[in-house]
Chain A
Amino acid sequence: MDEQQQTLLNFMWEQSDKLLIQMLQHIGLTFISLFAAVLIGVPLGILIARKKELSGTVLSVAGILQTIPSIALLGFMIPVLGIGAKPAIVALFLYALLPIIRNTYTGITGVNPAVKEAAVAMGMSEWQTLFSVELPLATSVILAGIRTATVINVGVATLASYIAAGGLGEFIFGGISLNNTNMILTGAIPAALLALLFDFLLSRAQRLSFKTVGTAMKIAPALLILLASLYFIPSAYGGKLTAGFTPEFMGRQDGNLGLQSKYGLTIHTIVISDAVMYKAAYENQLDIISGYSTDGRLKAYDLFTLQDDKGIFPPYYAAPIVSNKALRKFPQLEKTLNLLSDKINDSIMTDLNYRVDYLHQSPEKVAKDFLMANNLWRQEANSNTGIIRLGSKIFGEQYILANIYSMLIKGYTNYGVATKTGLGGTKICFDALTNDQIDLYPEYTGTGLLTILQPTQRTIDSLAGDKDKTYQYVKKEFQRRYAVKWLKPIGFNNTYALMMRQKQAQDLGIETISNLKHYLESN
């Protein structure tokens, strides 16, 4: 409850160091890409204003680039440019291109032909006409394009944190996965203010009279470069090894906070989404990552789990959580879901995940094969007495569990099933459950404890990382606060783990987290 009572301003004040860095990164990302887009977009706009037959092609290509969803575009960039600033800047650059090219084109072709002709008739060369007549007259239209591009970029730059490029997105997405509204706002408010500020400043620049526009045009490039260089200031520190942690891991006591307090581990850390984290480690972009012990990609990418020799990553159970209302409405439900209790241990779960994450089998097939092998599979019965709404989060393990439950319900009861898989994160899933949008989803006791309940440090200490005590506490509290019931654990332990590439771990002789700390300090 601590964090919820804290006011937003307190939080911002506490995080002001980080906030400043992220803001500078954000401004930097925005303006590096903007600078590049101006450098390429304006000449391209001029070119197509001269050679109109090219304008259709160039504008539609730029238009198509802009319609690619931001996350997808960032995803495409990773295999080519890796993670971090480079792909983010390229993606932002591509988004900024269209408004700049288009407005340069409209601005130049919109110059009164009589005025252009006057320039030629006075004896100006083509370049002289361009620089002393066409560009100055098109300035306000071009600036409008740059203004649009800036606002787009400030917005899209929040997504840069997905691929470890920093920026205010770190707070926003961290806040979403940690169920921390203050954290979301600490990122979102400055991002919105930046957009408004730049929009305002550029709108002023646009309205400058011809008298001042000349000087403004001379200052503008210098200003752009200055703002762009902000990005490099915070990233001046280095380090031998680079860690990539998810926003959720960054903010959890059984995550980076514990690493710092219990191990005293300090390492150059970047924040990254777990969707790309494993691959980035595999491709040598990252050395240490915060994975889940049962994740299939551990095996897929030949990663090695460091031993947690001080026990900061307590094991947690996974179990379905169901609203009391649904349990009353569907009397056979609890019994059916508990069919899976104690059926999946660590190695089975890892194997199932591996099939989905690495062998690319469908979660449905993996689920059915598993049930068959365990003699739990039953043909679908008639479903005519109501529909159960099943949710899941957005990664492989949750898809598999959702499919298994769906098949069990269909086989053992008369209920139908509607699945709502791929709910973005803990907060989104849990809110859907308490708002009666879904009836159940698989959850982990660690997440229930640290992300949803957020008890005092004393309470956490009293549970002492004991998985059964934790389960009992979480079950009691969920029932009391949310009228949600934790059913029996599925069996496997889900816990955070630090991972490295197998080969690198061997080469450096690192087996435990303490080894890692020692290595970092001695080098």
Chain B
Amino acid sequence: MIKVQNVSKSFGNTDAVKDISFEVKAEENLILLGPSGCGKTTTLKMINTLIKPSAGTIYIDGRDVMHQSPTILRRSIGYVLQNNGLFPHFTVAQNIAVVPQLLKWEKRRTEKRIRELLEKLHLSPNYLQAYPHELSGGQQQRVGLARALVADPPLLLMDEPFGALDNVTRSKIHDEFKALDELKRKTIIMVTHDVQEAFELGDRICLMDKGAIVQAGTPTELLFKPINTFVSDFLKEQRLSLEFKTIQLLDLWNWLPAGNNQQQMNTLSAETDLWTGLESFKFNEVEVICILHHQKNEFRTVEFEQLMAAFYQYKRTLSNG
């Protein structure tokens, strides 16, 4: 759907983005990850032409973005700004209605759509007439998201949408985000410098440094096949928890002890990640958990130590292969 081809951008003497290329498929969730100042925002803004590239071309559905009317293009792309960028002089309702108004929607249609979105985003309609400064940071983020989603654009650009939130609120919003049906059908490019967030929300990740893409790939690829020390160092601090969250119980299937092939009380799907699997021992206060492999229609009943052993064996094969 989106193709970024040899794009560079310099501001005076600063090369903010240096000859980057990547593609995003329809309905894919691509994360631009990297340290502060590495050019994530600049890359994002070149896609909706807020910034003009110094060189290179960006295509959306095969059409060069620079060859389209910027206002019409931007109305068809949802954009969530780094610091939410709500209009302080507009009510919540007016903020969300900006794009429908530009698209000259009927009033009734806009109102209906806003109500629908508020419900999905768990915002009370009481806030419709409130002004942004009367909302909490998390509520503002939701309004910012609603504003980007209201016209149901196929493409969504998000610049650190959860940046201003504390960790608890953030992980809660992450869960809601993943559950939101509105987002399932969308192509999303999201900027973050939070590794956890990238791994949790991304189908693929572009890790950037100093304006260039260092490695692009799935979370598993980045985690287990880093192409250089920058990548492994970048993930180092949170490696273990990332691994737990990235690996599915499915991946460990071959190393799980067979037998006792019957369903028990605490059954998890094999598509669950390892993190959740390990947590469920403590959460349910049990000695063993039961895992169900849907395709094979098989069960495994394992203890905590058996699961960890399988994990280490899996990792060994990865680094050998």
Contact = CB atoms under 8 A, between A and B. Distances in A.
Contact of B87 (A118, A120, A123): A118
Given A115-B86, A210-B89, A210-B131, 16 more contacts: A114-B85, A117-B81, A118-B81, A118-B86, A118-B87, A121-B50, A121-B81, A122-B102, A122-B147, A123-B70, A123-B75, A123-B102, A124-B102, A125-B71, A136-B89, A210-B88
Interface in A7-65: none
A133 interface: yes
Interface in B166-187: none
B215 interface: no
B48 interface: yes
Nearest to A120: B50
Interface size of B as a range: 20 to 34
Contacts of A210: 88-90, 131
Contacts of B83: 114
Interface string B89-120: 11000000011001000000000000000000
Given A117-B81, A210-B131, A122 B74 contact: yes
A128 interface: yes
A115 B75 contact: no
Interface residues of A, number: 18
Contacts of A119: 87, 98
Contacts of B74: 120-123
B132 to A, nearest CB: 10
B81 A137 contact: no
Interface string A104-140: 0000000010110111111111001000010011000
17 contacts: A112-B88, A114-B83, A114-B85, A115-B86, A115-B87, A120-B50, A121-B74, A121-B79, A122-B79, A122-B99, A122-B147, A123-B71, A123-B76, A124-B71, A124-B98, A125-B71, A133-B87
Q: Is the interface of A mostly helix, strand, loop or mixed?
A: helix
A136 B91 CA distance: 13
A340 B91 CA distance: 84
Nearest to A213: B89
A124 B147 CA distance: 14
A123 B85 contact: no
A505 to B, nearest CB: 66
Contacts of A115: 85-88
A313 to B, nearest CB: 66
Interface string A206-219: 00001001000000
B54 interface: no
Contacts of A125: 71
Contacts of A117: 50, 81, 85
Contacts of B265: none
B220 interface: no
B89 A122 contact: no
Contacts of B102: 122-124, 128
A118 B98 CA distance: 10
B48 A121 contact: yes
B50 to A, nearest CB: 6
B5 interface: no
B82 interface: yes
B86 A122 contact: no
B98 A114 contact: no
Contacts of B98: 119, 122, 124
B72 interface: yes
A211 to B, nearest CB: 8
Interface string A484-514: 0000000000000000000000000000000
A118 B147 CA distance: 11
Contacts of A128: 102
B1 to A, nearest CB: 19
Contact of B75 (A118, A122, A133, A137): A122
Nearest to A113: B85
Interface in B131-163: 131, 147
A216 B164 CA distance: 35
A114 B71 contact: no
Nearest to B101: A132
A120 B81 CA distance: 11
Q: Which of A119, A136, A210 has the most CB of B within 10 A?
A: A210
B301 to A, nearest CB: 53
B158 to A, nearest CB: 12
A142 to B, nearest CB: 14
Leading 6 A-B pairs by shortest Cβ distance = A118-B85, A123-B75, A123-B74, A210-B89, A121-B79, A114-B85
Interface string B35-73: 000000000000010100000000000000000001111
A460 B81 CA distance: 85
Nearest to A124: B102
A123 B88 contact: no
A120 B50 CA distance: 8
A117 B44 CA distance: 13
B313 to A, nearest CB: 49
B99 A123 contact: yes
Contacts of A133: 87, 89
Contacts of B75: 122-123
A240 B85 CA distance: 65
A111 to B, nearest CB: 10
Given A121-B74, A128-B102, A114 B81 contact: yes
Nearest to A121: B79
